[in-house]
Amino acid sequence: MKNSYIRKITNSFRWSVAFLLVCTLLSLATIFRARKKERWVQHTYQVIEKLEFLLSTLKDAETGVRGYVIAKDTSTLQPYLYSRAIAPATLKEIKLLTSDNPAQQRALAELTPIIDAKFAILLYDIAMIKAGKPVTAALIFQGKDRMDQIRHAIQVMKGRELVLLQQIKSGKLPGAWYPYLLSC
């Protein structure tokens, strides 16, 4: 009778430990999944922030050159000079952040020469003013077309990131490991 009682207690203890172990493992899997999800959410917001920063910087460059065209004062070129210096580094950051996304990499490869063309137009505007020549309407509209292309490309890229964000929030985390974790 005593052995039967000890056996019941031992079995109960084993089942309790097994149950506790399963609960612990499930809790750890949930915590891991939540942390991974949060990192992907932060990553997506970081890409969106960098895209918005790039667009803002390019607008500042355009504003600085516009000020120079109007006032012919080189101090108005500060935003242009800053943008010219910071844009390549921002593009590299975006490229690194989106290295896992082929669609974003293709879009970035298409966007980069458009940005280069925009800077070339702005530099030409500056050169025209320095030479004492007027900036033509055709040149202004060419610059506007490039800026519209840039805005559109960045909007498309941000849209892709927002779609990813919705997928992440709905539980579809990027990477091959997520089906396993979602099944936990």
Distance CA 124, CA 156 (A): 28
Tens digits of residue pLDDT in 57-108: 999 999 999 999 999 999 999 999 999 999 999 999 999 999 999 999 999 9
- Contact (Cβ atoms closer than 8 angstroms) between residue 58 and residue 122: no
Distance CA 122, CA 65 (A): 7
- In this predicted structure, what is the pLDDT of residue 180? 39
- 11, two tokens: 């079995």
- 118, two tokens: 């925009």
- 114, two tokens: 């458009």
72 Ramachandran zone, left/alpha/beta (phi>0; psi -120 to 50): left
Domains and CATH numbers, the chain: 36-183 (1.20.120)
Question: Using CA of residue 7, residue 8, residue 9, residue 13, what is the dihedral sign?
Answer: positive
Tens digits of residue pLDDT in 4-35: 878 878 888 888 888 888 888 888 877 878 78
Instruction: For residues 41-66, give the mean pLDDT.
Output: 95
Distance CA 52, CA 65 (A): 20
- Contact (Cβ atoms closer than 8 angstroms) between residue 51 and residue 94: yes
Q: Looking at per-residue confidence, does 172 or 74 come out higher?
A: 74
Nearest of 128, 145, 146 to residue 65 by alpha carbon: 128
pTM: 0.80
